[in-house]
Amino acid sequence: MSEGYTEDADTHDRTTKGTPAVTSRCVLFDMDGTLYESGIDFLGLRAELGLPRDGMPILAQLQCASAEVRERGIARLRAVEEEAAAATHPMPGASELMVWLRMCGVRCGLITNNSRHSVDVVLARHPLPFDVVLTRDDGHTKPHPQLVVEGMRRLRAQDTYTAMVGDTHLDALAAHAAGITRIHLVHLPTWMANQIPDDVGYSLANDLFEVKHQLGEWIVNGA
């Protein structure tokens, strides 16, 4: 298990003096591009491998490609992820947001399409206090809702009391399919926004400081 998180949700069911006693809520985070800056150019990688920009996750695209492209692509993806993991750093406001959520008694999970190996490297270098961490090695990747649903199950949280914070349409689609209605997307590109159906509601944010403000009323006032 990586340094920086524990899967014992009970350890966070507590309050701090002057902090509202909210223990039923949880927040699920994406990793790359949301809490951590990895610098991975997925559009460039797609172009390199001859894959279209069709809104599908790159692994799903590779599974549908020819055997030659699939083998070369998966090897290239792993190499890019491992190289990026060694240079990844937290986004501005990430530590402050996580500390604040912890003080509020909010349980937090990390749900990523990255590999367990890369996540372990990132969290060993820059630990943040997650109660559960799920990667593509644990189930179907986003936009499939499996990992989101499993994250809520492990945190003993209901979809009504769960928020999702991500940076792509994949995060929004997975959260929506899992029943989550409070979805926050950071610096979402226009082409990804166009991949989100009209019935999927979400809030846009320029950075994690704005996400903290957006979550504030929901956590503190129950709004």
Q: Where is the domain boundary, 26, 55, 85?
A: 85
Asked if residues 177 and 202 have their Cβ atoms less than 8 Å apart, the reply is no
Name residue 145's amino acid: P
51-170-59-157 Cα dihedral, nearest 10 degrees: 180
What is the structure's pLDDT at 15? 34
- Residue 3 domain-assigned? no
Predicted confidence (pLDDT) at residue 217 exceeds the cutoff of 90: no
User: For residue 79, what are the domain limits?
Assistant: 42-85
Does residue 107 come out as left (phi exceeding 0), alpha (psi in the -120 to 50 range) or beta? Answer: beta
In the predicted structure, residue 153 carries a pLDDT above the cut 90:
yes
Domain match, 112 and 184 both: yes
Tell me if 123 is assigned to some domain. Answer: yes
Query: Domain boundary residue among 51, 85, 119?
Result: 85
Claim to verify: residue 130 and residue 61 sit in the same structural domain: no
Query: Average pLDDT in the 83-101 region?
Result: 95
Q: Is residue 81 domain-shared with residue 93, that is, in the same domain?
A: no
Measured CA to CA in angstroms, residue 56 lies from 14, 43, 143, 185 at distances of 40, 12, 8, 18
The reported pTM is: 0.86
Residue 19 has pLDDT above 50, yes or no: no
Would residue 126 count as lying in a domain? yes
The burial class, CB within 10 Å (0-12 / 13-18 / 19+), for 84 is buried
Same domain, 49 and 150: no
- Confidence check: pLDDT of 14 > 50: no
- Are residues 15 and 78 located together in one domain of the fold? no
Domain count, the chain: 2
pLDDT at 16: 36
HEC secondary structure over 53-65: CCCCCHHHHHHCC
Mean pLDDT of 47-65: 89
Q: Would 2 be classed as within a structural domain?
A: no
Residue 145 shares a structural domain with residue 46: no
Q: Which of 47-56, 64-73, 197-206 has the highest mean pLDDT?
A: 197-206
Q: What is the residue-averaged pLDDT of the chain?
A: 88
Question: Per the structure block, which two tokens stand in for 181?
Answer: 């209605």
